[in-house]
Structure 1
Amino acid sequence: MALTIVSTQVPTGDAPICDVMLEPYIVIKEGDGPGTACHVPDEGCLESGARFRLRSRWFRAMVHGGSAVCSVHPDREATIQCLLCLRAHAPAPLSFHCGPECLKEHWRMHKDDYHLRQYQNGGVENGYASNGSSYRNSSSHEEWVEVGRSRCYVPTAEDVGCVLKFECSIADSHRPYYQDMGGLCMGSTTARVRPAPQPPVRAIIPLRHLAVPKLRHEGRFTVLTYNILADLYATGDVYGTYCPAWALSWHYRRQNIIKELACYRADIVCLQEVQSDHYEDHVRDAMQELGYIGVFKKKTTEVYTGREMAIDGCATFYRRDRFALIKKYEVEFNKAAMSTANHFPEPQRNAALNRLSKDNVALIVVLESVAPMAARQKQLICVANTHIHANPEHSDVKLWQVHTLLKGLEKIAASADIPIIVAGDFNSEPGSAAHTLMVTGSIDKTHPETAHDPAQFLQTLLPVQHKLSLRSSYSAVFAGNAKDLAVQQQAMRMDPRTHEPLFTNLRRDYGGTLDYIFFTPTLLTPTALLELPSEEEVVRGNSRDSGLPNARYSSDHISLMAEFQLVIPFQLE
């Protein structure tokens, strides 16, 4: 029996993209049989009993001639080069921009230490040194340098501007010296590797009109919330019509998301839709390298992805040089549903239980500052991170989940007079019953959404109230007399009726605000906000009917961040 490679193809679209995995499609045949997709294990695989192995090699070569491409917009020709990148010894292809406005918009990314440091060490790529074996093509005078020895390869910054070549052959372990069968080697060459579009760089907008005199700077901290779009929901059926497959892959998106989080350096980070296996394999370790400690709470129901079962949840990270974990509380709305349903007689009990039994969760942490933050005292801060039920036809469930979370926070507030942050994806638009309850403290039968009560449980709970005084952080843009131009520009990207952003979730078929950072205004004052992008900025470089995610924004949500100032010191008695 003999195996023969019929053909190889590296699917790259127009061109391979830096940091996007390349997986060649290989067709082999056995004897005189028909060609089929390759299922031969890799040469380095330890699988027992496999006689044949696939021997793979990746090479790169610099292509002479041709113009450089923009490092932010790979589909555009470069016209200007960033000198800061060159001084930092970053690879030259990452310093090119398509114009002065592009350079101006993204210069902070180049200045950021994290962004530059990843290119200063050089060294190993895919487990092989960049100065590995090489050979010269005498006909084209191109020198091919070996960069990888596995079937798949992830182009690095050193590959940008170069072409890649993939070669493979079948090795037979029964043959002496493990020689290639017939000495034949099949291969294919790609176009030039293009730099990956850089994640968005959004400015921090100071709220000087809300500054409190005589408050010390060490009493400030930042909170960021971000629904990062779990891979199990990032399907081509939903987003593939406007987001290229390589930009939708988790391998690409996770790098963009981590870069974005590293750029903002929030003290506390609340993430939603964090897939449990990705948290353990990638997100937790990446955040630890950035100086964070994380806690995670997964949902209570797994989802079949077509390949395996997966589950997502909420993850809260805090900078270990600023905070320490004092207490953690986990809220499973499924369990709370059983407690609520038991208050009703049959058959209303079963109807309420079926309606309220959703797999959503909330994660509450009480943090203590490592160093004194104000008045020479360490401070306690309570942060709730949640992802509320998404079905738009279940406004009654959303209201009940929010009310359940607030009742739990009331118990914490009763034991310690500490500032409270409630952040996350509430899947509720401004003015909805859930949002109104958060910011006003009560909901009664006059709200139109309370009429939607198919399980007949909501009417018995009304009026729904809570004793926490909460306010949405981005509403601070409209507080006071803001004369700062940057603040006024942010106000133009917000709804003047609801005092909330025009959107935090933007897909081709939907655009609206679902994410919030709420805080206790009697104990905290917002001093800065992460700027909101316009819809034009989000879809720039894409078709008009596109949305999120795309090559630059790696989730269908945008991140929100607020800086807060402690008004007075707080401590447990």
Structure 2
Amino acid sequence: METMVCPMGGGATRLYSNLSSSHPLPLPSSSLDPHQPTDKNLDPDFCQEQKGSSLCPPDPDELLRQFEEALKDRPSRFHRKFTYSSNVDSASSSPIRVMQWNILAQALGEGLDGFVQCPLEALSWSRRKYLILGEILTYRPHILCLQEVDHYYDTFQPVLAGLGYSSNFFPKPWSPCLDVEGNNGPDGCALFFDQSRFELVDSVNMRLSAMRIPTNQVAVVMMLRCRSTGRCLFVAVTHLKARSGWEWLRSTQGSDLLRQLQNLVQKHTGGPVDAPSSDIPLLICGDFNAIPTEEVYRRFITSPLRLDSAYKKLSKDGLTEPEYTTWKIRPTGECCATLDYIWYSQDTLRVDAVLDMPTEEQIGPNRLPSFSYPSDHLSLVCDFSFKEKE
């Protein structure tokens, strides 16, 4: 199987370090969260014991080799290409690669989501974890925004920490994963960044409200400083309420997120969000569970934060979203829709490249997830650059 590796993300080329150094100090047994990281519950497939410490494979290429070996009997993964902006000077640019992805919580995939055309074997964690991490390592983003993460502590945090990523995770208050027998804890949103490219300035976990009433949806927001340019940006990851009939709730949740982000921008700039001095860009990634005609989409397009959707760059007119970011078959029928977005500050960030969507033929008649792809949502990957200050 041919594997394309894109040379992005400097921190992803480092050797793995001792994972125990990134673990928090142990808590008393009475208060220990069973899903918090310990040497005993790290995924053994990615770690080996050496002198009493858990060590992981030496580099991302070794991990990719392991993934290929573990999944050598499966169909080839999707081959996707980047569409580049016509005004990008690739020789002089040093873009920031961003990945947005609802990875499908393991408990939901096996227990509640009902993917009627997907074989149970393809939904097993022993297969899916290699596909998920393989997708991340293929594109090696500097900023990684994930939803439906329910294996944060035993897999994603330790493995990606060894690759040079720092992260924050915020679980849903009432995760549906907890209703599934044998679950691995609540699912939530996770935000990772490459420490060789960025340093953390601030981090905030937000519980989204509707009409001042807290809801079950959350967001993680970080303010990062780029080490090469010294410029800062805000990054947010969120996952809005699912299902039809809840459009009003998604709209109010989106409005609450925008309001809280405006407050953060004002806090760090000391002025109104639309003032000329407010030059700290925003990136907002998420599964909005909303098609482009929904009210929450309009709220983002018309926000004073002056946001635009990066994936419109794939269209010929630059105004149209992709036909789909998710394609699945459930007992209720087939769903093919655009629900996932990467929003960006159009005055201060430039979209240099966008990863295209696989074709219907690539996805196949049984749709997603599958032996080739581990989630019902497709990853979104974009390269951004800071615009020059005037």
TM over 0.5: yes
Structure 1: gaps spanning 5 or more residues: 1-70, 72-105, 118-123, 129-155, 161-192, 342-352, 442-466, 479-490
Residue 143 of structure 2 is aligned with which of 268, 287, 292? Answer: 268
Counterpart in the other structure of 2:235: 383
What is the distance in 2 between the residues matched to 1:528 and 1:159? 31
Match of 1:301, SS state, is: coil
Structure 1 residues 203, 291: closer, same or farther in 2, change over 3 A? farther
What is the distance in 2 between the residues matched to 1:110 and 1:215? 16
Match of 2:221, SS state, is: strand
What is the distance in 2 between the residues matched to 1:367 and 1:262? 22
> What is the deviation of 1:237?
6.4
Structure 1 residues 289, 202: closer, same or farther in 2, change over 3 A? farther
What is the distance in 1 between the residues matched to 2:139 and 2:201? 25
- Report matched runs for 1:93-492 at 5 Å: 106=2, 108=4, 195-208=73-86, 210-211=87-88, 216-218=92-94, 220-235=95-110, 238-275=113-150, 278-302=151-175, 303-308=178-183, 310-333=185-208, 336-337=209-210, 340-341=211-212, 353=213, 357-371=214-228, 373=229, 378-414=230-266, 415-416=268-269, 417=278, 418-441=280-303, 467-478=304-315, 491=316
Is 1:517 aligned to residue 342 of structure 2? Answer: yes
Q: TM-score scaled by structure 2?
A: 0.75
CA contact (8 A) 1:157 1:195 kept: no
Match of 1:225, SS state, is: strand
Structure 1 residues 475, 240: closer, same or farther in 2, change over 3 A? closer
What is the distance in 2 between the residues matched to 1:332 and 1:518? 20
- Report matched runs for 1:14-163 at 5 Å: 71=1, 106=2, 108=4
What is the distance in 2 between the residues matched to 1:473 and 1:305? 36
Which is bigger in relative contact order (C-alpha 8 A, separation at least 6)?
A: 2
> What is the deviation of 1:423?
0.6
What is the distance in 2 between the residues matched to 1:111 and 1:314? 26
CA contact (8 A) 2:350 2:384 kept: yes
What is the distance in 1 between the residues matched to 2:72 and 2:90? 51
What is the distance in 2 between the residues matched to 1:159 and 1:270? 27
> What is the deviation of 1:247?
1.1
> What is the deviation of 1:236?
6.1
Residue 552 of structure 1 is aligned with which of 364, 372, 375? Answer: 372
For residues 476-522 of structure 1, the C-alpha deviation after alignment (integer angstroms, 9 at most, x for no partner) is 234xxxxxxxxxxxx5xxxx796101100111220100000011111
Q: Count residues in correspondence.
A: 326
What is the distance in 2 between the residues matched to 1:217 and 1:322? 14
Q: TM-score scaled by structure 1?
A: 0.52
Match of 1:363, SS state, is: strand
Identity percentage over the alignment? 28
Counterpart in the other structure of 1:530: 355
Structure 1 residues 240, 520: closer, same or farther in 2, change over 3 A? closer
Structure 1 residues 214, 559: closer, same or farther in 2, change over 3 A? closer
> What is the deviation of 1:196?
3.1
